[in-house]
Amino acid sequence: MKTVLFDLDGTLIDHFTTIHRCVVFTQQQLDLPESDYDTVRATVGGSAPVTLGKLLGEAYVDTALPIFQNYFEQIMFEDLIALPGSNWILNELKQRGYQLAVFTNKNGNQSRAILDFLGQAQYLDAVIGTGDTPYRKPDPEFTAHALECLTASSEDTILIGDSPFDFAAAEAGQLKTYLVATGSHTKTELSAATQAVGIYADLYELGAALFDLTPETTQV
């Protein structure tokens, strides 16, 4: 293994409160019923248009998307949390010589801004998101694009994520998948919905099991 692709939302960061606020704001502007936090959290993962389609209805996506994105741009650094273990695992793997990238259905420009803000961009060789290509997870073309950007092979690359979207994207590129239950799905749900090689409670557990990172360092 030489290259590690990380999903962003639910894997490296917790942005669910911000996203929920943006969904509710959009629904208010369109006089639609408001979604609660748990519903929004369970829906995130397929990119903003997919999420809005599920929550508002496909007929509203074209109207809702610019409202959502404009408000998101205003508040995207609010309620933003680096998930426990994210800085630690990125730093540890970078020191060990791995090529690291974020591979996300979040908008690429927004993802780069968020990772800069959190100080995590320093560990990454690339940040690949929607808008950078016409594709999104789990399109095979999106996974192929990520591998091409990194001059990486499927045999030497793994994907770490938190959802069935991540598993499907990895499967499309013949990558091994390892999932953490820090996002929109529990370990039980991930086990039922995917055939990931490993499913872990969080990045600390994954880091210890998969990379033999020592427990003493799991405080960052």
Q: Which residue has the higher pLDDT, 147 or 44?
A: 147
Dihedral sign from CA coordinates of 99, 105, 109, 110: negative
Amino acid at 146: A
**Which pTM value belongs to this model?**
0.91
pLDDT reported for residue 216: 57
Pull the structure tokens for residue 126.
Answer: 């690339």
160-187 burial: b if 16+ Cβ within 10 Å, else e: bbbbbbbbbbbbbbebbbbbbbbbbbee
CA proximity to 13, closest of 95, 106, 98: 106
Structure confidence by residue, pLDDT tens digits, 162-217: 999 999 999 999 999 999 999 989 999 999 999 999 999 999 999 999 999 986 54
Domains of the chain listed by start with CATH number: 3-14+81-217 (3.40.50.1000), 16-75 (1.10.150)
In this predicted structure, the answer to whether residue 62 has a pLDDT above a threshold of 60 is yes
Are 165 and 185 within 8 A, CB to CB? no
Q: Tokens for 77? A: 């650094």
